[in-house]
Amino acid sequence: MKRILTLLSAATITGCATGPLDNTGTFLPPLHHQTLESAKICCESHKAIRYVHLQRGTEIKTTVSPDTPVFEFGGRRSFFAAFELQSGENRILMVTTTPVNMLLNRYGHVMVPSVQFLGDDFKPVATVDPRYETDSRFPRGSWAEAQVKVPNSARYAVLFDGRNSGGLAWRDRDQATGSLFVRSGPTGEISVLLLGG
């Protein structure tokens, strides 16, 4: 019985990904950083970015991969995902990120996004490095979630690689330290959900 629980625990911390985010035995962030540095910048300004409309109460899941457009945020390049927010006040943007390439834990990584809010004029209103809370549950697996208060004047939100984080830790009783640290990377699986307003 203990062996079954251990296997279930291992399955819970595993993130599922396919394609460019799934390469068992390879730590992908260095390869993705090389792609990032050689990629062409997609847009000259925030105005030229293509934004996906985000309705209140509807979750959008997306994969930020080496095939994703590249933009320069404050002098540094990043792959990104961009959303047009439904208007309103007292809005909360729920940002969820999932570890990928976790078949062999030491090679997995997780994107730890920063969120940049833009006004109607496409000028930055605020940039937030949210605090992510990690969780794991079978059969969903592992994820990290942050609740980000949306400025009233914000119409757009752009999620990009938050370089202030080295990664995230999940509780894992099978590890000697009691937790499993997953290093951050410039790519990953994320989702957004707009609440309130």
pLDDT at 17: 45
pLDDT for the residue numbered 8 = 33
For 153-186, the pLDDT digits (tens) are 999 999 999 877 799 999 887 788 888 899 999 9
CA angle (158, 163, 167) in 5-degree steps:
110
Confidence band for 75, pLDDT divided at 50, 70 and 90: confident
What tokens does 111 get? 């994107």
Spatial CA neighbour of 113 closest among 140, 143, 88 = 143
Check residue 150 and give its pLDDT.
Answer: 98
| Cα separation, 64 vs 88, whole angstroms | 27
* Locus of tokens 């279930």: 8
Residue in 113, 138, 145 with CA at minimum distance from that of residue 13: 138
Name the residue type at position 107: Y
Q: Please, what is the average pLDDT of the chain?
A: 87
Q: Is the dihedral of CA 125, 113, 155, 150 positive or negative?
A: negative
Using the predicted structure, report yes or no on whether residue 130 has a pLDDT greater than 50: yes
Higher pLDDT, 138 or 40: 40
The single-letter code of the amino acid at 41 is I
Residues above pLDDT 70, as percent of the chain: 89
pLDDT at 104: 66
131 DSSP 8-state letter: P
Name which residue leads in pLDDT, 137 or 134. 134
Whether the pLDDT of residue 2 is over 60: the answer is: no
Please state the pTM of the whole predicted model. Answer: 0.86
Instruction: Specify which residues 76 forms β-bridges with.
Output: 73
Nearest residue to 151 (alpha-carbon basis) of 193, 93, 95: 93
List % helix, strand, coil for the chain (3-state, nearest 5).
15, 45, 40
Is the Cβ–Cβ distance between 113 and 144 less than 8 Å? no
